[in-house]
Amino acid sequence: MMLIDCPYCGERAQAEFTYERTLDSIVSLDMPVEEVLARLFSRANPRGEDRELWRHTFGCRQWLVLRRHRRTHAIAAVDPYAPDDPE
Amino acid sequence: MGRAIVIDADVALAPARDVTVLDLWEGELPAIAAGAMQVEPRRWWLIDRGEATEEIDTAIAGRGVLVPIGGGLTRATISGPGWRDLLSVSGFFDVHHSGFGAGSAVSTIIHHVPVRIRVTGASSCDVFFATSYASTLAELWQKTSKGG
Amino acid sequence: MTAPRRIADGATDSLRFTFDGRAMTARPGDTLAAALLANGVSLVARSFKYHRPRGIMAAGVEEPNALVTVGEGGRTEPNTRATDVFVYDGLVARSQNAWPSLNFDMGAMNGMLARFLPAGFYYKTFFGPASRWMLYERFIRRAAGLGKAPVDRDPDHFEHRAAFCDVLVVGGGPAGIQVARDAAASGGRVILVEQDALLGGSALRDGIAVPDPVQAGVRMMLRTTASGNWDHGFVTLVERIAEPGQQPPAGMPAQRLWHVRAKRIVLATGAIERPLTFAGNDRPGVMLASAVRAYIRRHGVLAGQRVVIATNNDDAYRTADAAREAGGTVVAILDSRPEPPAAEHPTFADAVPLAAHGGRGGVTAITARVGATTRRFDADVVAMSGGFTPVVHLHSQAGGTLGWREDIQAFVPEGGPEWIESVGSAVGEVEPIAPASAELPDPKHSFIDFQNDVAASDVDLAWREGYRSVEHLKRYTTLGMATDQGKTSNMAGLARLATSAGVTIPQAGLTTFRPPYTPLTLGAMAGADGGGHAAPRRRIALHDVHEARAALWQPLGLWHRPRAYPQIGETLHDAALREARAVRTIAGLTDVSTLAKFAVHGPDAARLLEMVCATGIAKLAVGRGRYTFMLREDGMVLDDGTVWRLDENGYLLTSSTGGADRMEAHLSYVHRVLAPTLRVSVVAQQEHYAGIALAGPRAAAILADLTGIEPPAHMGLARAKVAGVPALILAASYSGERAFELYAAGHDAAPIWGAIEDKVRAAGGFPYGLEALEFLRIEKGHVVIGAEADGRTTPHDLGLERMLRKAGGFVGAQALARPALAAPDRRRLVGLVSSEQIPEGAMLVANHGATVEGHVTSAGPRLLESGGAALALLAGGMAREGETLLATSPTRDRHVRVTVTAPVFHDPDGARYRD
């Protein structure tokens, strides 16, 4: 079970969090349909580090961006989600 | 921490009733709401503050809202020297951490149940959770503690 | 032959136990293995495949042979290592895998079995014709196996506990104790775990005292095994409070599974001695040299009078010393090295064991090659040492890599997570050894994996049949796949494979180490979830009210809701029919508390709702509500419910019970991720409000009577007191009748139920449960999330397209434009009628054997007429109206002719909603 350093709460067990999706699969409501479909169904799945959207659902309930290595589970950074985050 | 010692803590469950969410989408927490339990960056719980509700409502008019939630909450009052041990049963949070003293509050999970813990004294705390889970947690604590 | 014996030291046996019914005694501190040896029991088990007689080989958890069943009834624990059970008064142990008895085991006629069960037996059988497998299966199942799992319920409870520390030290030998004491001295929380009941590790067999870690401030946990090393310093520990089969102290769990989060993990897990490979190396009496020493020094048990030592390193010489001190005779030290160290024992250089001889009762002699000659030595015990393998399991589990050490012929920890380090023998601080010898005159009886009965010949066969990768070798031969995970066998297996391949061992590779380090009980894994509660059971606020009315309960996710309130002599179906008919003709009340409810407030409340809901929201008047539904991003229906405008900037949104948590997350996602600038507050009130629905032609009159107010019009709302309790009244209907949902604080709602029930019953109506609710909504054609809306249906498929907000701007709007979603042959909602009950879940076909064109999603009886009605998803949808199809359910063996109709069977115009 991973340890996630919530920027609001500090280090907490993964059991308190829920995974939502990778950052590059967020679709806004004004995107054209082609882009929506590409983001939802044609995603990258890199072996290395990826940026993921998580929620501290059973803690502060805030949305967080994890830079997490898919193989080693090493978490390089945990930041509050900011909508202008570059993907 | 002897191996053969049953946890020494007493648990009393009661309807929480007077719990209200205070959400602010703008501005700071008004002075009258000081002492409220902060549960999120922009959310507080007013516990047993019913008499001040109207005044607080006025103070946050236009930039926040009060929403009652106590009808579905149960409060477990846990007391005794073993309260921290009891909360580490089926738990995930470091309740023994020296920084988790009186006045601290935390949201976490115990035995699959989302809970909010408020430390009320050296050997006591309140645990709030949805009433539908009350029998589940009561059963767990009864099995685990001396006075459960 | 001379039996093992206790060394006279003044201690007395004070514990009684039985083995296969034979009463024996033991001393406090004895493992079952030590006590059995002291009682002269050399034959302890029969092997897994070939039923070969086996004894005790090791003194620790690596024991591959001496698996026993301990305990009685629900406390029975099968497959426990006799070396890992401490005798308590009254212990009951039994041998396994032998019939009719350990001494006369029918299965053992099967040295014979060896012909039937070579390496890869299962694979070869599976590739053959199925009949071959059928033939073998019964025979195999009976012959090959471990102990029997208990059938009785475990009377004890198990606990999961969290713990946190700065340093977790695994292993209470000299190295671990040192690290723990140092760490405690520099402050911080230090936990030291030791799987044994005593601290000391290797010091116990060498008779060396160790310092006290507790006095240094270390939290010490004995009889606690670190079984898994996971991500980010997370380690699972299994603490045995009671020994296998033993009743725990009053109020205590039998075992605890600790979830430890450590900032730093120090693995002082020691090293495990390797057996040597020679014919008959599995006979009782052939033991690890370190184990022979441990039984002498720790337990005062000499495993046999005449001791032959076979070794390739210096450590076994200490065993020779110990045996002599204990009064044993060291017959010979067979040292494979050309120049053994000086010793006061008969020592033979360049000497390797070839075969151990003896019978069921154990070894009597050993043949060895000594230089160019072959010699035979009498022996009651053969103490073998093939060197020491560092215990790297926990290091590897957490992703650590390994490096090869030629001098000890073993892998040691190399790289890995920075918070994990290994110390002591676990990093290879062990005796160097001479390179392994390849001479093996009888590979068929030279065992490598003792527990899974894998001999050197099996490894060779696998090689000949083309298995080159060590991972394939493992699966083909089952080497290392037994309950001991190859603790004593992996290195020998690798060495054999490497020899065949003509490569070095590191080139041959290594299989993966997986948790748990030693087997753990199902009870430990289940923890407090045992006893029928695999998940919490959520109780509704009015649980006791329904319980008092003898409700039948229906699980719905974690919730339990009343399904019906049968009267004496009534079946569920009859009760539901009575309840539903009362709603159609008079009135009924039901508990709708579990519906998800969200208070949505703020200047941008309508904007958020219009992003989440696919229907119009902004034009809703204050005091009014309407049906709504929400879509996923791919355009499929996610959930549905109602939305009510409470005041200018305040709404109440309801949605389905099962989707409550998902909807909470969805609302938060849309708000915080897609539209974070919105000034809006969303508060879940699912449990704050208990909900009671009052429905039926008499509902409005009953409500007026109870509240003294004019009942709100359909889809209107009001506030009033009922039985003195403030309630929010929403005039919503799910049943198809005029209806009201009354919401009140959960802790205070019981009087409202009581007051309504009195009036309903006085009018001739009843409380109704989920079953009646289902009948009612099917007749009215309301779709349900999970039945009709099954995650593959769009609003068009469900006939909801007219409600879609044309301007878009809601989640899922873009994806709805996909052309395939408008294909005419999509399965769309229809109604089905029949003169009889339609089987739920049935396939829709034109005739038997024809292509499946749809399926029945929900079915129920017509309530006031005869026959059945159903909702279904059918290719082509309402274009098929009037067609006759077959609803066929092979699993229920029911096949019913149905006619396609509109998906509403009751009051299609909604006339009954008007007073």
Q: pLDDT for C709-760, tens place per residue?
A: 999 999 999 999 999 999 999 999 999 999 999 999 999 999 999 999 999 9
Model pLDDT, residue C5: 81
Model pLDDT, residue C2: 59
Model pLDDT, residue C171: 98
Model pLDDT, residue B2: 40
CA-based nearest distance B107→chain C, Å? 16
Residues 6 or more apart whose Cβ sits within 8 Å of residue C341: C314, C317
Nearest to B71 among C535, C537, C688 (CB): C688
Distance of alpha carbon C671 from alpha carbon C673, whole angstroms: 6
Model pLDDT, residue C915: 80
Using alpha carbons, select from C101, C122, C109 the residue that is nearest to residue C51. C109
Residue B2 lies in a domain: no
Residues B81 and B104 in one domain: yes
CB contact under 8 A, A55 and C818: no
Residues B59 and B80 in one domain: no
Using alpha carbons, select from C889, C774, C874 the residue that is nearest to residue C831. C874
Q: How many domains, in total, are found in chain B?
A: 2
Q: Global pTM?
A: 0.94
H or E stretch covering C357: strand C351-359
First-residue to last-residue Cα distance in chain C: 101
CB contact under 8 A, A60 and B40: yes
Task: Give CA separation, C769 vs B5, C365, C556, C577, C735, in Å.
Answer: 46, 78, 13, 10, 12
**C contacts of A83 (beta carbons < 8 Å):** 673-674, 676
Distance of alpha carbon C436 from alpha carbon C483, whole angstroms: 26
Nearest to C747 among B15, B23, B146 (CB): B15
Which pLDDT tens digit goes with each residue over C505-548?
A: 898 888 889 999 999 999 999 998 877 767 889 999 999 999 99
Distance of alpha carbon C571 from alpha carbon A44, whole angstroms: 55
Environment class of residue C6 by beta-carbon count within 10 Å: exposed (0-12), middle (13-18) or buried (19+)?
Answer: middle
H or E stretch covering C298: helix C289-299
Residues B61 and B101 in one domain: no
Q: How confident is the model at residue C338 (pLDDT cuts 50, 70, 90)?
A: very high
Residues B59 and B45 in one domain: yes
Model pLDDT, residue C361: 82
Residues 6 or more apart whose Cβ sits within 8 Å of residue C51: C97, C98, C105, C107, C108, C110, C113, C143
Nearest to C234 among A3, A31, A83 (CB): A3
Q: How many CB pairs under 8 A join B and C?
A: 128
First-residue to last-residue Cα distance in chain B: 19
Residues B82 and B64 in one domain: no
Residues B136 and B86 in one domain: yes
**A contacts of B45 (beta carbons < 8 Å):** none
CB contact under 8 A, C536 and B146: no
Residue B142 lies in a domain: yes
H or E stretch covering C184: helix C174-185
Q: Partners for A (CB, 8 Å, 3+ pairs)?
A: B, C
Of the residues A28, A36, A40, A60, the best mutation for testing chain C's interface (the one with the most C CB atoms within 10 Å of its CB) is A36
SS3 string of C270-294? Answer: CEEECCCCCECCCCCCEEEHHHHHH
Q: How many CB pairs under 8 A join A and B?
A: 29
Residues B87 and B139 in one domain: yes
Q: What is the dihedral angle through the alpha carbons of C390, C395, C400, C402, rounded to the nearest 10 degrees?
A: 0
Residue B1 lies in a domain: no
Residues C520/C227, Cβ–Cβ less than 8 Å: yes
Q: Within chain A, what is the greatest distance between any pair of CA atoms?
A: 39
Residues C44/C283, Cβ–Cβ less than 8 Å: no
| Helices within C408-510 (DSSP H only) | 456-464, 470-477, 490-501, 505-508
For the domain spanning A3-80, the CATH number is 3.30.2270.10
Distance of alpha carbon C788 from alpha carbon C800, whole angstroms: 12
**A contacts of B98 (beta carbons < 8 Å):** none
Interface of C with A in 606-645 (CB under 8 A): 611, 633-634
Q: What is the ipTM of this complex?
A: 0.98
Interface of B with C in 18-57 (CB under 8 A): 21, 23, 25-26
- Nearest Cα residue in chain C from A21: C669
Model pLDDT, residue C124: 64
Model pLDDT, residue C115: 54
- Find the CATH number of the domain harbouring B100: 3.30.1360.120
Residues C804-821 as b or e (16 or more Cβ within 10 Å = b): beeeeebbbbbbbeeeeb
User: CA angle at residue C703 from C699 to C709, to 5 degrees?
Assistant: 140
Q: Could you tell me if C810 lies within 8 Å of chain A, comparing CB atoms? A: yes
Model pLDDT, residue B148: 44
Q: Beta strand pairing status for C271-273 and C388-390?
A: antiparallel
The tokens for C914 are 């008007």
Q: Could you tell me if A55 lies within 8 Å of chain C, comparing CB atoms? A: yes
Q: How confident is the model at residue C12 (pLDDT cuts 50, 70, 90)?
A: confident
Task: Give CA separation, C501 vs C224, C459, C471, C488, C788, in Å.
Answer: 40, 11, 14, 22, 60
- Nearest Cα residue in chain A from B106: A59
Domain boundary among B71, B95, B114: B71
The tokens for C301 are 């048990």
Q: Per-domain residue ranges for chain A? A: 3-80
Residues C78/C52, Cβ–Cβ less than 8 Å: no
CB contact under 8 A, C814 and A28: no
Residues B112 and B48 in one domain: no
Which ranges of chain B have pLDDT less than 50?
A: 1-3, 148
H or E stretch covering B127: strand B124-130
Q: Which regions of C36-171 does DSSP assign to beta strands (E)?
A: 45-46, 53-54, 67-70, 77-81, 91-94, 158-170
Q: Could you tell me if A83 lies within 8 Å of chain C, comparing CB atoms? A: yes
Distance of alpha carbon C805 from alpha carbon C808, whole angstroms: 6
Q: Could you tell me if A21 lies within 8 Å of chain C, comparing CB atoms? A: no
Helix pair C572-585, C770-780: axis angle to 10 deg? 50
Neighbours of B95 (CB within 10 A): 22
Model pLDDT, residue B1: 38
Residues C74/C153, Cβ–Cβ less than 8 Å: yes
Residues B67 and B80 in one domain: no
Distance of alpha carbon C187 from alpha carbon C173, whole angstroms: 21
Of the residues B42, B87, B92, the best mutation for testing chain A's interface (the one with the most A CB atoms within 10 Å of its CB) is B92
Which pLDDT tens digit goes with each residue over C640-689?
A: 999 999 999 999 999 999 999 999 999 999 999 999 999 999 999 999 99
Distance of alpha carbon C407 from alpha carbon C394, whole angstroms: 23
**Between these two residues, A85 and C580, which has the higher pLDDT value?**
C580
Neighbours of C2 (CB within 10 A): 13
Question: Any idea which of C416-420, C474-478, C558-562 has the lowest mean pLDDT?
Answer: C474-478
Structure-token match 């709708």, residue found = C592
Residues B58 and B114 in one domain: no
CB contact under 8 A, C673 and A53: yes
Residues B55 and B126 in one domain: no
Q: Could you tell me if A15 lies within 8 Å of chain C, comparing CB atoms? A: no
- Nearest Cα residue in chain A from B111: A15
Query: What is the three-class DSSP state of C527?
Result: helix
Residue B29 lies in a domain: yes
Nearest to B108 among A8, A58, A61 (CB): A58
CB contact under 8 A, A29 and C259: no
Q: How confident is the model at residue A70 (pLDDT cuts 50, 70, 90)?
A: very high
Model pLDDT, residue C1: 45
| Domain, as residue range, for B61 | 19-71
Q: Partners for C (CB, 8 Å, 3+ pairs)?
A: A, B
Residue B131 lies in a domain: yes
The residue-averaged pLDDT of C233-256 equals 96
Nearest to C611 among A29, A55, A73 (CB): A29
SS3 string of C461-485? Answer: HHHHCCCCCHHHHHHHHCCCCCCCC
Distance of alpha carbon C613 from alpha carbon C623, whole angstroms: 19
DSSP conformation letters of C800-821? -GGGS-TT--STTTTGGG-GGG
Conformation bin of residue C51: beta by default, left when phi > 0, alpha when psi is -120 to 50: left
Residue B45 lies in a domain: yes
CB contact under 8 A, C681 and B1: no
Q: How confident is the model at residue C110 (pLDDT cuts 50, 70, 90)?
A: low
Q: Could you tell me if B1 lies within 8 Å of chain C, comparing CB atoms? A: yes
Is the model's pLDDT at C843 over the cut of 90?
A: yes
Model pLDDT, residue C9: 73
**B contacts of C745 (beta carbons < 8 Å):** 17, 68, 70-72
Distance of alpha carbon C773 from alpha carbon C758, whole angstroms: 20
Residues B67 and B81 in one domain: no
**C contacts of B25 (beta carbons < 8 Å):** 602, 679-681
**B contacts of C555 (beta carbons < 8 Å):** none
Which pLDDT tens digit goes with each residue over C60-108?
A: 999 999 999 999 999 999 999 999 999 999 999 999 877 667 777 666 6
CA-based nearest distance C786→chain B, Å? 23
Query: In order of start, what are the domains of chain C with their CATH numbers?
Result: 5-115 (3.10.20.440), 156-273+388-436 (3.50.50.60), 275-386 (3.50.50.60), 437-507 (1.10.10.1100), 542-593+689-776 (3.30.1360.120), 596-684 (3.30.70.1400), 819-915 (2.40.30.110)
Q: Could you tell me if C416 lies within 8 Å of chain A, comparing CB atoms? A: no
CB contact under 8 A, B25 and C602: yes
CB contact under 8 A, C669 and A20: yes
Residues C419/C264, Cβ–Cβ less than 8 Å: yes
Distance of alpha carbon C552 from alpha carbon C767, whole angstroms: 12
Nearest to B130 among C239, C602, C687 (CB): C687
Conformation bin of residue C829: beta by default, left when phi > 0, alpha when psi is -120 to 50: beta
